[in-house]
Structure 1
Amino acid sequence: MTASIDLRVWRQFLAVAEELHFGRAAVRLHMTQPPVTQAIAQLETAIGVRLFDRTRRSVALTPAGEALVPDVRELLARAQALPARARAAAAGEVGRVRLAFVSTIGFERLPAWVREFRTLCPQVALELVEATGDVQLEALARGEIDAGLMLHSPGFAPAGLKRVAVAAEPLVLAVPARHPLARAKQLMLDTVLAEPLVVFPRRILPSVHDAIFALYHAAGRVPAIAQEAIQMQTIVNLVSGGLGVAWVPESVTQFRREGVVYRGAAEFTATGRRRAALDLPGCETSLVWPAQNDNPALGRFVDFVRER
């Protein structure tokens, strides 16, 4: 007998421990007394520890037996809860979701989602890690994360993944606060495109990178790259230091960095006369996950995001 995993024996132990009487324990278990007495004797032999002191008139727990009672109660309670927990896990109410995210969604929207989801599904562990799009794709391929929130140009989400678009926003221009462009009432696109550019490497956000470069190429210009940086906060910090201008998602404006001014599309014109805002590039944020997914908790999170 493997006493450590035989729940029937532990139920019998607990009944005797609580009744301190083999006969009453047997009645409680709907058994006769001899099998209960025999089971306890076999349990003590198997673990090599005496659990009860017995006389003809009394039964008492030994210190070892008394120490086991709380653990056995917890063991049996957990065992009883297993079927319900399995059903909850199958329904996505219990489990784990490993979620990567880009910094732009983390400024406002993601924290609110995390709070609400943890309230609605308290038994689902939502594990967060900040990562750029290229890192997320590698982690998804290796099975290290379940889903990712990543940036891309409208309609250019990574192939082979399911997705839910969660946000769409324009790009805005981050300008050093002391630069003349920060104070100009009207921005000439050709003048802006001549400025040194702080930009992220293409590998981390290829579709948005290509859209920005297409803006320059359509005007017959090649971007004068002053510096590359991976994180949006770093890009904004470099702009603050005067290294150049940068095209960033509008959500980055919530990162209020002293020394930076943000200018939107309505402030641009292609000529010297004020006219309708230019059609500047935009970006989307999508929740993406592998098509072959067997994690019910992820399904619950995807449904949650769709509702938002």
Structure 2
Amino acid sequence: MDLRPLRHFAAVAEELHFGRAADRLGMTQPPLSQSIQALERRLGAPLFARTRRSVALTPFGAAWLPQVQAALAAVEALEPAAERILGGQSGRLELSFVSTADYSILPRLVHRFRDLYPEVELALSEATTDRQVAALAEGRGQAGIVILQGGGLLPEGFSYLRLLREPLIAAVPETWITQGRLVPAAGRLAPAAVTAAPLILFPRRAAPYFHDLVTGYYEDRGARPRVVQHAIQMQTIISLVSAGMGIALVPGSLRSLARAGVRYLDLGEDPPHLETGLIWRRDDPAPVLRNFLRVVADEADAPR
């Protein structure tokens, strides 16, 4: 249906006067009357009850008016909506993240991005680094927070930005300390105590860099880790530590994950550092991604 007769109908219905409606529309009264009559013929029912002194909506016209007004408002909103989409002020951003980011960089990024772009739908999903890389390579999702050293071995066409570098610490069962099985010194755990304890660890397929960083800590000290359990969720790893199954080497930001029965201790003698970064496809033209990258760059450069 042509929008012009709808606008003509709405103007007359709101003014209840053909002359004022014509002035409002910037036209003369005769073509306005002809337009309303043609619309009534098309609909098969009168929209107005006319006399020489007054114009009133018919029951049908009164019932149809709100729908016409809503349709016209929706049409008028299309151009500003397109501008917001093209400017990245609205739309949808799909962001995946490793579980460790939930305790470090992710909350800050989400809070900042939502403050700046409240109309953007932010779809978050937790996934291991390997699954994120595979999904993005297949065109699913737009960006991912991963654990990779300097971008690692990414497929062609990917970009990488370092977000955070933090030391590993030890998560140990509280009972091991109270019972004297582990004896920290000034809140630190000696390398010999770490290498002698059973270890709970990410499987290498899920987080190769994280896995190798932990096992490299043992190898650098002439030891081999005694892995008693693999787990891909950080919450699961900490739960197993709480149960006394073993210790885990985790990012320092995980101190915010308080769990009864778990103590976090610094590692003595030059602890390894874990790097968390953002990956995305360079050929993704989405304006919302462009705006998100600006927020990420600001957060990555911000002092801690």
- Range into which the TM-score falls when normalised by the shorter chain: 0.7 to 0.9
1:283 is aligned with what amino acid?
L
- Measured after TM superposition, the shift of residue 155 of structure 1 is 5.0
1:264 corresponding residue in structure 2: 266
Please tell me whether the aligned partners of residues 170 and 189 of structure 2 are also in contact (alpha carbons under 8 angstroms): no
SS in 2 for 1:230: coil
Counterpart in 2 of 1:272? none
**In structure 2, what residue type is equivalent to 1:16?**
V
Q: What is the CA–CA distance in structure 2 between the aligned matches of 1:290 and 1:48, rounded to whole Å? A: 55
Task: Check the 8 A contact 2:99/2:233 in 1, yes or no.
Answer: yes
Tell me what 1:169 maps to.
Answer: 166
| Residues 177 and 259, structure 1, Cα contact 8 Å, conserved in 2 | yes
* Alignment correspondent of 2:302: none
Q: Deviations over 1:99-123 (max 9, x none)?
A: 1122222225432332332222222
Alignment of 1:121-200 (within 5 A): 121-156=117-152, 158-160=154-156, 161-179=158-176, 180=180, 182-185=182-185, 187-200=189-202
2:164, 2:45 → 1: CA distance?
63
CA distance in 1, matches of 2:174, 2:102: 25
- Separation of aligned partners in 2, 1:47 and 1:157: 65
RMSD: 2.4
The Cα of 1:71 is off from its aligned counterpart by 3.5
Alignment partner, residue 99 of structure 2: 103
Higher mean C-alpha displacement, 6-15 vs 190-199: 190-199
Amino acid at match of 1:238: L
TM-score by length of 2: 0.86
Distance between the aligned counterparts of 1:156 and 1:83, measured in 2? 42
**Does the 8 Å contact 1:171/1:282 carry over to 2?**
yes
**What is the distance in 1 between the residues matched to 2:33 and 2:181?**
90
Shift of the 163–194 alpha-carbon distance from structure 1 to 2, 3 Å rule, reads same
Work out the CA distance in 2 between the residues paired with 1:63 and 1:138.
Answer: 60
Q: Structure 1: how far apart are the matches of 2:189 and 2:115?
A: 46
Q: Is the Cα–Cα contact under 8 Å of residues 181 and 187 in structure 1 kept in the other structure?
A: no
Matched, 1:216 2:218: yes
Alignment correspondent of 1:225: 227
Aligned equivalents of 1:211, 1:220: Cα separation in 2? 15
Deviation at 1:64, TM superposition (A): 2.9
> Is the 2:202–2:210 Cα contact (8 Å) retained in structure 1?
no
- Deviation of the 1:295 alpha carbon: 0.6
Distance 1:184 1:111, change over 3 A: closer
> What is the CA distance between 1:181 and its match in structure 2?
5.4
Question: Is it true that 1:204 corresponds to 2:200 in the alignment?
Answer: no
Aligned partner of 1:76 among 72, 75, 78: 72
Corresponding letter in the other structure for 1:177: E
Instruction: Identify the match of residue 27 of structure 1 among 23, 26, 29.
Output: 23
Q: Does 1:91 align with 2:93?
A: no
Q: What runs of 5+ residues in structure 1 fail to find an aligned partner?
A: 269-276
Task: List per-residue Cα deviations over 1:209-228 (Å, max 9, x = no partner).
Answer: 12222233344433222111
**Cα distance change of structure 1 residues 212 and 21 upon mapping to structure 2, 3 Å threshold:** same
| Mapped partners of 1:198, 1:129: distance in 2 | 24
- How many positions carry a matched residue from both structures? 293
CA distance in 1, matches of 2:212, 2:42: 70
Q: Percent identity?
A: 45
CA distance in 2, matches of 1:106, 1:212: 20
- Following TM superposition, by how much is the alpha carbon of 1:14 offset from its aligned partner in structure 2, in angstroms? 0.7
Report the more deviating stretch, 150-159 or 101-110.
150-159
Given that residues 183 and 189 in structure 2 are in contact (C-alpha distance below 8 angstroms), is that contact kept between their aligned partners in structure 1? no
Q: CA 1:134–1:48 in 2, change beyond 3 Å: closer, same or farther?
A: farther
Say if 1:150 and 1:174 are closer, same or farther in 2 by CA, change over 3 A: same
Q: 1:49 to 1:283 in 2, by over 3 A?
A: farther
The normalised TM-score by structure 1 is 0.85
Matches within 5 A, 1:281-292: 281-292=272-283
